[in-house]
Amino acid sequence: MVATEQTLATGKQLDLLCINTIRTLAMDGVQQANSGHPGAPMALAPVTYSLWQQFLRYDPADPVWPNRDRFVLSNGHASMLLYAMLYLAQVRGVNPEYERLGDFAVTLDDIKRFRQLDSKTPGHPEYRLTAGVETTTGPLGQGVGNSVGMAIAGRWLAAHFNQSGFEIFDYNIYALCGDGDMMEGVASEAASLAGHLKLSNLCWIYDENHVTLDGLANVSFTEDVGKRFEAYGWNVEHVTDANDLQMLADAYNGFLRTKDRPTLIRVNSHIGYGSPHKQDTSAAHGEPLGEEEVRLVKKSYGWPEDAKFLVPDGVLENFKNGIGKRGGELRQKWETLFADYGKKYPELANQIKRMQQRELPDGWDKNLPTFPADAKGIATRESSGKVLNVVAENVPWLVGGSADLAGSDRTRLKFEGAGDFQAGSYGGRNLHFGVREHGMAAALNGMAVSKIRPFGGTFFNFSDYMRPSVRLAALMEIPTIYVWTHDSIGLGEDGPTHQPIEQLASLRAMPGLMLIRPADANEVVEAWKVIMPLQHEPAALVLSRQAVPTFDRSKYGAASGVAKGAYILADAADGKPEVILMGSGSEVSLCVSAYEQLKAEGIKARVVSMPSWNLFEHQSDEYKAKVLPPDVRARVAVEQAAAFGWSQYVGPSGVVIGMRRFGASAPIKDLQKKFGFTTENVVAAARKALGK
């Protein structure tokens, strides 16, 4: 009996030693950087320690093991908490090719270089920069939004790949979040969707400390979060003391027992726990404690006051014997199972391996349609829907949906067996995100980092609701696909509330986003050929509601020019134009019409289709000069969007026919006439550029 009590006492002392190591590493890292947030890591050290040491099914030696539990730090300002855990658990590094390396993801030296240039410990955790960081977090609400996509992916992977006796995918997702996350709208959208889908593999751990950067949260936030989540259909657990490891364990076990809904664990903590003077203040949350305060806190922990970045004997060993040993055994058991699975189900095993490397199946582009020349043509949203269905049949892990507009943006997969993803029917390929554009975009990112290939659609104007998540996809370099339709004033009667104007220019300015606005059905096919092989770049297809002519490719340039971003569609007979007409999307047909009229008048013109500026900018100077010869200064750009940005292509003497105000509610032909999108106006602009 005495020995048992002594062992328990020793275990508790070791637990506390490890927890205080996490706290002091966070304090020291923030203090050395003279920048950052020490309070949340100090308060949440026991919460994270209990989860990682006892419950997280994660092998530090293999941080890309496909069936690992995911830990998401949604309150990314507490990044030192995650960095301390990655260091203490001795998580191994991974290179961009997903090969495990010998060195550690985060070393003590990395912690000492917190928030410094080119360090692996930036101010907020960044995916692909630091192994063990499952997703980039910082903008509040994004991490929990991503976690819903991870949970969707987990359920889909299980439904698609698991076989009798082979539970290849059964992982859980834990997301740590705070009051700020709970206030952000994206978190509400995500939580509502997760409750509807009954994602029981999802656990949010809510640090209910009642503190935000402005001070006490009750100046702006007094709702009962627990009741809100019960209304969403979540199981809600409550831990009244963040330092009570037994209470935390009971809550985590409550999540594991809950098989019919996601779980929210409310955890009451005191920010900057252990700080004698700054407890429950925003200062401990948003700035370093100061040297004297750090000494006082360490003294209260029974810590050497002058020791910096101290990791006492026994701490690393404790983590090695905890998460290290348990995670290693679980991973090895899984690898044995997967080896047997590969023998019995080689095709499915091959799919899993390709997904992990973001490779496509052989023949992914077979049977793609070719569209015949047609003066009346077809809306690019229509042709995209046809191509998407062929590609999705060839790529079994291409999964997605729409923000309640699948019929309009043509993102519904209609082939046999596609099915709908719903609670209890998780093998479907069609996701119904509801009118939750931001929640959809955040979930798509969570699916992408889970190695599913996700797509999501809505009207182009409402890309504004998705933008923060789109930006993070570009920052993370993940191949999320956006299908945005109703791309201009061409949608007509719905009016200026629904007509995008500035979105094209705005999204073209975003680094790392592959944006393509195809001019006809065959350019749509080529756009999908560009998008699908992408491994480290999100892509946006911007598509028309109205029909556009399908060009006669025996007469005009080949649509394969899309791969270069811009190409010569029609040219002067001698290849030496007097004027260049350029545009994207539906306006290219206007350029072609004007070209034919100019040609009849004896004016030598060239039409350049420019579906993707960023693709064009990646071409050689020689190619760019071939398409847009510098000596041809008479140039006209035509686009039913803000004119901003076209000056780089038309030059100082060129003309841009674009939108310089919001649109209007009227039939499409009336709008095009009012705003100058007519053949006659393009011809007149060409004459003006020529000085005629």
What is the C-alpha separation between 613 and 639, in angstroms, rounded? 13
Q: Are the C-beta atoms of residues 411 and 457 closer than 8 Å to each other?
A: yes
CB count within 10 Å of CB 620 equals 9
Tell me the sheet residues that pair with 178.
Answer: 207
Residue 330 CB burial class (10 angstroms; 0-12, 13-18, ≥19): middle
342 C-beta neighbours (distance < 10 Å), count: 15
> Shortest CA distance to 115 belongs to which of 24, 181, 28, 20?
28
Q: How far is CA 369 from the centre of its chain?
A: 30
Among 355, 336, 211, which residue's Cα sits nearest to residue 278?
211
The dihedral through the CA atoms of 562, 567, 572, 574 has a sign that is negative
Q: Are 148 and 190 in contact (CB under 8 A)?
A: yes
- Virtual CA dihedral for 384, 385, 391, 395, nearest 10 degrees? 130
453 - beta bridge partners?
A: 398
Phi-psi region of 100 (alpha: psi -120 to 50; beta: other; left: phi over 0): beta
Instruction: Collapse the DSSP code of 395 into the 3-class scheme (helix H, G, I; strand E, B; otherwise coil) and give the result.
Output: coil
Quickly count: other Cβ atoms within 10 Å of residue 376's Cβ.
8
Give the chain's count of helices (H) and strands (E).
Answer: 26, 23
Which tokens hold the place of 275? 């700080």
Cα(542)–Cα(483) distance, rounded to whole angstroms? 6
- Phi, psi dihedral angles at 421 (to 5 degrees): -85, 110
Q: Tokens for 580?
A: 């260049």
Element (H, E) at 15: helix 2-33
Closest listed residue to residue 273, CA positions, set 247, 292, 249, 300:
300
Catalytic annotation, pick one of 437, 526, 578, 639: 437
Strand positions, DSSP E, 190-262: 202-207, 211-212, 215-216, 235-239
Specify the amino acid at residue 206. Y
Residue 437 annotated as catalytic: yes
**Distance of alpha carbon 120 from alpha carbon 14, whole angstroms:** 28
Which residues carry out catalysis? 437
